[in-house]
Amino acid sequence: MTKLKNQITRVLILNAYFSSFEEKYLIKDNLDEKNEPVINAGETKYNTEYFIMLVVTKGTLRLIVGNTKLEVKANEYLSIKPCMNIYVEESRCLFYAIITRSNLMTDIFEHTTLVKLNKMHAFSFSHIHFNQEQADELLHYYQIIKKEHLRENYLMKEMVLRAYVAAFLAKLCSFTKPENYIPHIKSSRQYTFFIQFLEKLSKEHKKERAVQYYANALKITPKYLSSVVQLFTKMSASQVIDQYVVYAIKQSLYSNEQNIKSISQEFHFPSQSFFGRYFKRITGMSPNEYIKRNNRKSLNFIDNNKENN
């Protein structure tokens, strides 16, 4: 069991079906359970770079995303973007989930016409409800994805999985209308500061990584900003900044449109070596190692297929 697999399984439920392809496309469900099985409360987990798509088919899944308490009921869909804390409370439900690296989801959006769903911003989630017929169709597409996951690895498996995930999203998009969205609005003073911090971070992360800078921009003290960020993320402000910066760097490394030196300059690092040390400190791998594993032009499943044969 890899560290990543342990992290993802704890995000949702331990006693359930789980499958991973190259740690890029992960699926999970407890649909084989009877009635509405109990889901025990788990630890708070921080989603660093995954786009989580979850559908409840029966019962109610209770969880906290960021600082928002949610109840996802039968025939409701929840998508969770990266850089969000997730805490699952004790619940009773049947569910299934498709969990995909955010850069791969960006690829899917770029090569389809799913404009309505092309909102890959971090620090956000969407809660949507469907009627029974629509929910049944989404489940049908999930079962196709699951069946493909169960097949032994073959040369074009990733391409096929990507196509099936795109089909699932296309079907979901065709069902979704503004009235389907379930609103969740917060109005506290602390939450307002938190959102302002995230908005500023999303715009300035390429050149500013200091807590002091963001505190000054919000006209509050660094100590108060840190307490606000801790409240909503269970992490320090500097950790959230680093996580978001690395999330953005991964998007650039994956696209392969620039070399590492150019990306280092784009993010205003003093040198390429400093950039490399910063990235490795947070991710555990160098930028070159990340490219080899995740770059758009390097398909891991081809190399693994050769090794397996």
The residue among 246, 243, 237 whose CA lies nearest residue 276 is: 246
Question: Is 264 in the same domain as 172?
Answer: no
Position 115 scores a pLDDT of: 47
Residue-number span of the structural domain to which 157 is assigned: 3-180
Dist CA 208 CA 143 (whole Å): 44
Least confident of 92-96, 159-163, 215-219, 300-304: 300-304
Rounded CA separation 110/227 (Å):
38
Q: Output the DSSP codes for the chain.
A: --HHHHHHHHHH-SSSEEEEETTTEEEEE-TTSSSS-EE-----EEESSEEEEEEEEEEEEEEEETTEEEEEETTEEEEE-SSEEEEEPSEEEEEEEEEEEHHHHHHHHHTS--GGG----SS-EEEEE--HHHHHHHHHHHHHHHHHHHSPP-TTHHHHHHHHHHHHHHHHHHH--GGGBPP-----HHHHHHHHHHHHHHHHTTT---HHHHHHHHTS-HHHHHHHHHHHHSS-HHHHHHHHHHHHHHHHHHHTSS-HHHHHHHTT-S-HHHHHHHHHHHHSS-HHHHHHHH-TT--HHHHHHHHH-
Residue 276 is predicted with a pLDDT of: 95
Do 34 and 154 fall within a single domain? yes
**Do 20 and 162 fall into the same domain?**
yes
Least confident among 156-160, 174-178, 180-184, 231-235? 231-235
Residues 170 and 283 in one domain: no
Q: What is the CA radius of gyration of the chain?
A: 20
Whether residues 72 and 22 share a domain: the answer is yes
pLDDT digits (tens, 9 = 90+) for 68-97: 899 999 999 999 988 888 999 999 999 999
Q: Are residues 205 and 100 in the same domain?
A: no
218 pLDDT above the threshold of 60? yes
Contact 267, 261 (CB under 8 A): no
How are beta strands 38-39 and 45-47 bridged, if at all?
A: unpaired
Give the chain's mean pLDDT: 85
Note the pLDDT of residue 111: 65
pLDDT at 217 over 50: yes
pLDDT for 107 equals: 76
- Does 197 fall in a domain? yes
pLDDT of residue 258: 72
| 10, pLDDT greater than 60 | no
What was the pLDDT predicted at 291?
84
Question: Tokens in use for 157?
Answer: 């498996």
pLDDT at 51 over 70: yes
Question: How sure is the predictor about 112, in pLDDT bands with cuts at 50, 70 and 90?
Answer: low
Looking at residue 43, what is its pLDDT? 81
116 and 196 together in one domain: no
User: How confident is the model over 115-132, as a mean pLDDT?
Assistant: 75
113: phi > 0 → left, psi -120 to 50 → alpha, else beta; which?
alpha
Structural domain includes residue 305: no
Question: From CA 82, how far away is CA 101, in angstroms rounded?
Answer: 9
Residue type for 277, please? R
Residue 42 lies in a domain: yes
The share of the chain scoring above pLDDT 70, in percent, equals 85
Residues 224 and 254 in one domain: yes
Domain total for the chain? 2
Check if the beta carbon of residue 283 is closer than 8 Å to that of residue 290.
yes
Give yes or no: residues 28 and 145 share one domain.
yes
Residues 17, 154, single domain; the answer is: yes
Confidence of residue 297 (pLDDT cuts 50, 70, 90): low
Q: What is the pLDDT of residue 15?
A: 63
CA distance 302 to 155: 6
Average pLDDT over residues 38-43: 87
pLDDT in tens, 239-267: 999 989 998 898 888 876 678 999 999 99
Q: Cα separation of 220 and 199, whole Å? A: 16
In-domain check, residue 302: no
